[in-house]
Structure 1
Amino acid sequence: MLIEMHCHTEEHSRCSFVSAADLVRRIHAKGLQGIVLTDHHYLWPQKGLEALRRRAGVPEHFLIFSGQEVKTPELGDVLVYGADVSLPPGTPLSEIRRRFPGAALVWAHPYRSGRLPTEADLRHPLLDGIEIFNSNQSVRENCRGLRQWHQLRFTAIAGTDTHGPSYAGLYPTLFDHPLSDLAELAGELKKGRCRPFLKEIPKAGSKNRVTEVTIGAKGLDEIRERIIIKTLDTPCQWSKAERAHHILQSLSDHGFARGPYRVPLPIDEDSSTLTLIEEGVRGRSLYDRLLGAPKAEGRRYLQLTARWLARLHNCRLLLTPADEFLAEEQRRLPRYVQRFLDIGHPHSRRAAEIMEVVDERERRLLTGRPELLIQGHGDFHPKNILLGQDRQDDPSTLFVAAIDFESSLTLPPAYDVGSFLAQFRNQFFGHPQILVDYPEELFLSAYLEERSAVEDDFHGQVELFRARTNLSIAAYLIKVGMGGSEDLWRVLVEAEQALSAGMPTPGEGRRHRGGPA
């Protein structure tokens, strides 16, 4: 059974501005099976609850109980389920336990205002449970509650702490067995046969241990917290993931927190457990969207994606060392060719020649041109772009978000553009109509319209990095056992074509221009 365990009414809590009848109706409409009113130091009499049911017009099987929130000298606010009188402020826990041995006592919102409870307090002998989710705690504070619950395995509940109508029933508690009265509810809680209502789903295919957590009940307004918990296995993995976490924080500070262009918001990090927590983005990948969208909508999605990238580049952030890009390329490019050599691939020489040209042009491009380097995404492709809506019934709330910043470097902006175009063609090559309906000029035009300025040789740079990405795709095909596929031959040919198309001409590379090509 799903029960709202913590809420306040305007009749008996001065801090609330929702009537008891409205609160009951909203909780019932949301699909929960019951509600416990927990006004401050006030216990509703049974006749009052019966009259409330009639005013609210809910069926008899919907449970309406009354507990109370009591301020104690030991732990502050505690939810009391099962006392038969209203308790005054300052009543000690020991007195409540002595007078009402069958009552269940739950520490209310212990993580609020940045508090981090000690293990001793969470295991207080007079407590029966801990409220780990509460609407008056921040997402970070709710996450801390979740982590400590998993670490210490105490009995936990969720409570919305409702004071208004819009978020009623957001954080219910799930009871394992049916309930008929408040005494049964208290007994089940004391036995630990309940938990916060949430979904925890391990993410398949991740290099690290990643869990997606959705907290609370879905309502008409779709307001639910979704978080991603990443646990790294080694200090090396932690270092890379933590850097990406800090890049996300900087981007969120530069306008990518809300609105149509976003990144997942970083929430918390714990170096002692190698754990990172970030906001989960509700949406589907650009890849999946384009496969099923009407053409007009798909074109809008692709243009939004291009504008997201241009806005990132317009920030001209410098968050990682400037010399890292070329140094990383010196490690990556030979690795791609080595994949060919390791299996004696017949196109090993061809791959080596492509690598040599890419390497020489990258060095020449960046020599003496530090102004080219800005913080880029580093792995920008259709499966790393999510599109969603804040409200499913309101298309104006559409947003695009990029994920996976572990490859983010200070790099030439053309790297992200060329990489995207190469990956786009490769990922959709088996869907030729997609390539017809969404030509790369659509992406490039939207990108250039949004960019504040680009180099005069920008298109040549894009072709260089398109070729470089095709070489990496070919190496990946060998890695997954597809070295003999026609796709490998195709991407090598396309790499050579890109290098020919991007051949620099004398005098290119110093002037800047803005706007579309």
Structure 2
Amino acid sequence: MLIDLHVHTNRYSSCGNSTPEEMAQSALEHGLDGIVLTEHNVTWPPDELAELRASFPKLLILSGIELTSDEGDDYLVLGISPQSWFAPRLPAEEIVGHSQRLGGVVILAHPYRYRDQVPETLATCPVDGIEVASCNMHGAASDGAARLVQALGVFPVWNSDAHHRRDVGLYANTVPGRINNEEQLATVLASRKACPHADAARITAVNAAWRRHLPTIRQLIAQGVDDADIRAAVSTRVGYSDLYAIRNGLEVQRPLPPWQPE
């Protein structure tokens, strides 16, 4: 099965740009077998999730969450049902510890996007996996994340982190067998049997767009234009993390398989 483990919608993520139905339809159009809805600091109500599933019977739609810690780091919690203790700005130790005790897996989402450090708690309260690539990670962040996977001995995942329908499935993960629920997903991920997948044609197109627009972006930066106005002026998918990378002389291009960190 091909599953994107990190997807947002405009129903429960204020930064989402597409409806749940648009995201689900895009997943089918791009050959995905399943998606995990990981809204920011909130899980989908069971009745609404059931309704969405009924509308897309050919797509596995699972519930997850992206929790932001008190230090501002983001963690994907997968494989467990909604919990009453889920809340924004919890200590990382609480996010990781509670989730793992309940049988879930915890993945550090998009590390190195805006800084060259990772949470100190990784040493004392280790996560299960690291997100290595997404449409919201510049190339330098992916390199750092891949090295972190090697250093910690955890499993890597590649996800779209899609906030718009065009990005669903840009990166995803292949898992063996048939997944039917959140608990089975956690078991497969913990067994380290998931393999990264990248939509090479779409990523190549994204990288080509970057090469075309990079001179303009650098010129706007040199002129003192702020990030919000640069994003409005450039007709490609440029994120704040990408502008951070450009301003700091870091690699922006998204990785393509086969790929090894520099």
When normalised by structure 2's length, the TM-score is 0.69
Which amino acid in structure 2 is aligned with residue 66 of structure 1?
A: S
For residue 34 of structure 2, what is the aligned residue in structure 1? 34
CA distance in 1, matches of 2:136, 2:130: 15
- The farther-off stretch of 7-16 and 106-115 is 106-115
CA distance in 2, matches of 1:69, 1:159: 13
Query: Is the CA contact (8 Å cut-off) linking 1:122 and 1:130 kept in structure 2?
Result: no
Query: Is the CA contact (8 Å cut-off) linking 1:111 and 1:132 kept in structure 2?
Result: no
Which amino acid in structure 1 is aligned with residue 64 of structure 2?
A: G
Which amino acid in structure 2 is aligned with residue 115 of structure 1?
A: D
CA distance in 1, matches of 2:15, 2:52: 20
Note the alpha carbon deviations across 1:379-432, whole angstroms, 9 max, x for none.
xxxxxxxxxxxxxxxxxxxxxxxxxxxxxxxxxxxxxxxxxxxxxxxxxxxxxx
1:30 to 1:92, Cα distance in 2 relative to 1, 3 A: same
Which amino acid in structure 1 is aligned with residue 89 of structure 2?
A: G
CA distance in 2, matches of 1:35, 1:50: 14
- Higher RCO (CA 8 Å, separation ≥ 6 residues): 2
CA distance in 1, matches of 2:207, 2:184: 30
CA distance in 2, matches of 1:219, 1:53: 29
Larger Rg: 1
Secondary structure of the residue aligned to 2:7 is coil
- The farther-off stretch of 64-73 and 186-195 is 186-195
Q: Tell me the CA shift for residue 152 of structure 1.
A: 4.8
For residue 82 of structure 2, what is the aligned residue in structure 1? 84
Q: Tell me the CA shift for residue 88 of structure 1.
A: 1.3
For residue 110 of structure 2, what is the aligned residue in structure 1? 109
For residues 58-207 of structure 1, the aligned pairs below 5 Å read 58-60=56-58, 62-73=59-70, 76-81=73-78, 82-85=80-83, 87-96=86-95, 97-98=97-98, 100-117=101-118, 122=122, 125-150=125-150, 152-197=152-197
Query: Is the CA contact (8 Å cut-off) linking 1:139 and 1:225 kept in structure 2?
Result: no
Which amino acid in structure 2 is aligned with residue 107 of structure 1?
A: L
Gaps of 5+ in 1: 198-215, 227-252, 254-267, 269-276, 283-517
1:76 to 1:59, Cα distance in 2 relative to 1, 3 A: same
Note the alpha carbon deviations across 1:109-162, whole angstroms, 9 max, x for none.
1121142437x6555534111111121121222233234434554211122111
CA distance in 1, matches of 2:98, 2:184: 19
How many equivalent pairs are there?
A: 217
CA distance in 2, matches of 1:52, 1:186: 22
CA distance in 1, matches of 2:112, 2:189: 20
Secondary structure of the residue aligned to 2:23 is helix
Secondary structure of the residue aligned to 1:160 is coil
CA distance in 2, matches of 1:168, 1:107: 19
Higher helix share: 1
CA distance in 2, matches of 1:21, 1:278: 30
1:162 to 1:173, Cα distance in 2 relative to 1, 3 A: same
Q: Tell me the CA shift for residue 80 of structure 1.
A: 0.9
Query: Is the CA contact (8 Å cut-off) linking 1:30 and 1:169 kept in structure 2?
Result: yes
Gaps of 5+ in 2: 209-217, 219-244, 246-250, 257-262
Query: Is the CA contact (8 Å cut-off) linking 1:21 and 1:53 kept in structure 2?
Result: no
CA distance in 2, matches of 1:130, 1:79: 9
Which amino acid in structure 1 is aligned with residue 13 of structure 2?
A: S
1:111 to 1:220, Cα distance in 2 relative to 1, 3 A: closer
Secondary structure of the residue aligned to 2:165 is coil
Which amino acid in structure 2 is aligned with residue 133 of structure 1?
A: A
Query: Is the CA contact (8 Å cut-off) linking 1:34 and 1:63 kept in structure 2?
Result: yes
CA distance in 2, matches of 1:98, 1:19: 31
Which amino acid in structure 1 is aligned with residue 11 of structure 2?
A: E
For residues 33-52 of structure 1, the aligned pairs below 5 Å read 33-52=33-52
The runs of 4+ residues in structure 1 deviating greater than 6 Å are: 277-280
CA distance in 1, matches of 2:203, 2:66: 28
CA root-mean-square deviation: 3.5
CA distance in 2, matches of 1:220, 1:94: 37
CA distance in 2, matches of 1:163, 1:9: 6
CA distance in 1, matches of 2:162, 2:187: 24
Identity %: 28
For residues 304-315 of structure 1, the aligned pairs below 5 Å read none
CA distance in 1, matches of 2:31, 2:53: 16
For residue 317 of structure 1, what is the aligned residue in structure 2? none
CA distance in 1, matches of 2:206, 2:124: 30
